[in-house]
Amino acid sequence: MLKVSVMTRPFQIEISESQQELEKALKHATTASSKERLQMLYWLKSGQVNSRQAMAELLGRDQATITRWLKKYKDGGCSGLLEVKHARLSSTARHWGSLRTAQTALTRPSRIS
């Protein structure tokens, strides 16, 4: 049987929030995405997790996702990490939305007297 040893890079990030601040933020988080991101920061701050691989496994995410989240934290702090960007509607989606609006308007009874 062949054993493969995987070397993982340790985290090189300073979490500026205290453990207590992170605990409080976790308790008041309202979305699943903010909870898992705050959980990541909490585990890092408390020293419970010390590798990307372990963090990815615990959160059920890919290591690339963990790396991306950490970059967001480094660039924008906690608010940058928790910021959720909404995708813009494609031109096709806007087109179908306009058609639905027109259909609704056409099916309403006319108010012309």
Residue 31 inside a domain? The answer is yes
Residue type, 43: W
Whole-model pTM over 0.85: no
Residue 84 inside a domain? The answer is yes
Residue 58 inside a domain? The answer is yes
Residue 63 inside a domain? The answer is yes
Residue 3 inside a domain? The answer is no
Q: What integer is the mean pLDDT of 71-93?
A: 83
Q: What is the pLDDT of residue 11?
A: 72
Distance CA 61, CA 46 (A): 20
Residue 110 inside a domain? The answer is no
Residue 48 inside a domain? The answer is yes
Number of domains in the chain: 1
% of the chain beyond a pLDDT of 70: 66
Classify the phi-psi angles of 47: left when phi > 0, otherwise alpha if psi is within -120 to 50, otherwise beta: left
Q: What is the pLDDT of residue 71?
A: 95
63: three-class secondary structure by DSSP: helix
CB 84 within 8 A of CB 33: yes
Structural domain span for residue 77: 14-105
Residue 2 inside a domain? The answer is no
Q: What is the pLDDT of residue 84?
A: 79
